[in-house]
């Protein structure tokens, strides 16, 4: 259990690192951010910062020496970087988790082994395999690169009468998976925290609306039945246990209707705090960021209590210029990440509206 005044290293310097550092500061813990980008928005709210490439072993060694425990705020931390740090200081969650979640095929196979439903999928390394994959999963389908995909990047939809060759060209022949396109009822996610002694606390199921593949709005409570909500939390808990996870993770799921039955399919696991959990800062007694800090510090988790009906709206690109209009809205909490110039699709801030029950 880390003592107050200890230092948590965070690999990555975006808004997630920024909000983690703010949560740590509140608990009397310091954060040291490691990021190669000069203008990282987490730097300005952290006790210490290292700006160096992820393969700079001298900088990594110095960073590790300055920290008591190390965590990360994005899932694409290079495997070599994570391994180098893990030889020097505890890295939580265990970097093994990254090997699974950095590759869509390995992640889907992991879920299948746990008997957790996903969209039907097939591995694709060539145009021929894409045709075979489509024969298995059907059309419409989605082709997704195995690695480095987020917010719909590295994805191509193939319509019922679509052109698989065009999709294959659009991912530039990168190793991929093809998935059956799911006509879901809604998208939901569960943010789960697991402590070093194996206790799990899940936040309430969140309903997510995407626009142009980017999360736009999250609403809590989700419009799902209590049974489905319990199922969603069970799935997230099973995943956290299977990883022997320490920290916060997010599980994105589709709610699917077959006749009268409603079931869940897991779309993606994010081994980190997640955009769909931002509502917890203002909408619950403990945030996902604080839960993560508590977990990696070896502290007990809090039991989250939601404070009302909550809606979180992302400020994407130029929308951040409208942030001021939210300042006087009753129940609205405004977050601006301080990221500099907005560009299309860039997450610049968010607003949480809490409507008391």
Whether the CB-CB separation of 247 and 188 falls below 8 Å is answered with no
179 binds ligand AMP (CB under 6 A): yes
Query: Of the listed pieces 45-53, 67-75, 86-94, 179-187, which binds ligand AMP according to CB under 6 A?
Result: 179-187
122 binds ligand AMP (CB under 6 A): no
Number of residues that bind ligand AMP (CB under 6 A): 13
- Binding test (CB under 6 A) with ligand AMP, winner from 68, 103, 187, 204: 187
Query: Of the listed pieces 84-92, 175-183, 291-299, 305-313, which binds ligand AMP according to CB under 6 A?
Result: 175-183
Whether the CB-CB separation of 268 and 290 falls below 8 Å is answered with no
| Residues, the chain | 357
Q: Three-state DSSP class for 111?
A: helix
Evaluate the CA torsion angle 166, 171, 173, 176 in order and state its sign: negative
Shortest gap between Cβ of 118 and ligand AMP (angstroms)?
A: 9
How does DSSP classify residue 182?
Answer: P
- Structural tokens at position 234: 């069970």
d(CA 214, CA 152): 7
Whether the CB-CB separation of 294 and 316 falls below 8 Å is answered with no
Whether the CB-CB separation of 42 and 17 falls below 8 Å is answered with yes
Query: Of the listed pieces 9-17, 176-184, 314-322, 323-331, which binds ligand AMP according to CB under 6 A?
Result: 176-184
Q: Where do runs of H (alpha helix) occur along 52-208?
A: 57-66, 79-86, 96-101, 104-113, 127-137, 164-170
271 binds ligand AMP (CB under 6 A): no
- Binding test (CB under 6 A) with ligand AMP, winner from 181, 200, 217, 346: 181
- Binding test (CB under 6 A) with ligand AMP, winner from 47, 51, 106, 182: 182
d(CA 215, CA 147): 20
Shortest gap between Cβ of 200 and ligand AMP (angstroms)?
A: 23
- Binding test (CB under 6 A) with ligand AMP, winner from 119, 222, 266, 284: 119
Binding residues vs ligand AMP (CB under 6 A): 119, 142, 149, 152, 179, 181-182, 187, 210, 213, 252, 267-268
């Amino acid at each position: 259990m880390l003592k107050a005044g200890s230092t948590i290293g965070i690999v990555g310097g975006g808004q997630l690192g920024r909000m983690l550092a703010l949560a740590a500061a509140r608990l009397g813990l310091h954060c040291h951010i490691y990021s190669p980008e000069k203008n990282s928005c987490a730097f300005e709210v952290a006790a210490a910062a290292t700006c160096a490439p992820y393969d700079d072993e001298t900088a990594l060694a110095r960073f590790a020496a300055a920290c008591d425990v190390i965590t990360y705020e994005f899932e694409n931390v290079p495997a070599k970087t994570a391994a180098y740090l893990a030889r020097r200081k505890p890295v939580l969650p265990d970097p093994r988790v990254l090997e699974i979640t950095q590759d869509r095929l390995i992640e889907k196979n992991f879920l299948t082994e746990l008997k957790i439903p996903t969209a039907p999928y097939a591995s694709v390394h060539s145009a021929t395999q894409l045709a075979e994959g489509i024969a298995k999963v059907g059309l419409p389908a989605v082709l997704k690169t195995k690695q480095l995909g987020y917010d719909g990047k590295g994805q191509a939809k193939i319509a019922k009468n679509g052109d698989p060759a065009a999709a294959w060209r659009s991912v530039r022949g990168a190793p991929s998976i093809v998935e059956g396109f799911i006509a879901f009822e809604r998208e939901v996610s569960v943010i789960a925290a697991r402590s070093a002694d194996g206790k799990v606390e899940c936040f309430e199921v969140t309903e997510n609306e995407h626009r142009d593949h980017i999360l736009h709005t999250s609403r809590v409570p989700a419009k799902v039945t209590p049974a489905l909500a319990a199922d969603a939390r069970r799935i997230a808990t099973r995943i956290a246990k299977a990883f022997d996870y320490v920290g916060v993770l997010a599980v994105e799921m589709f709610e699917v209707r077959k006749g009268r039955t409603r079931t869940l399919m897991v779309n993606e696991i994010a081994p980190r705090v997640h955009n769909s959990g931002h509502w917890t800062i203002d909408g619950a007694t403990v945030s996902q960021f604080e839960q993560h800090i508590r977990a990696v510090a070896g502290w007990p988790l809090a039991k989250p209590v939601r404070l009302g009906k909550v809606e979180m709206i992302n400020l994407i690109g130029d929308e951040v210029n409208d942030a001021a209009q939210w300042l006087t809205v009753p129940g609205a909490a405004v977050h601006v990440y301080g990221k500099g110039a907005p560009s299309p699709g860039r997450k610049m801030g968010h607003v949480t509206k809490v409507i008391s029950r």
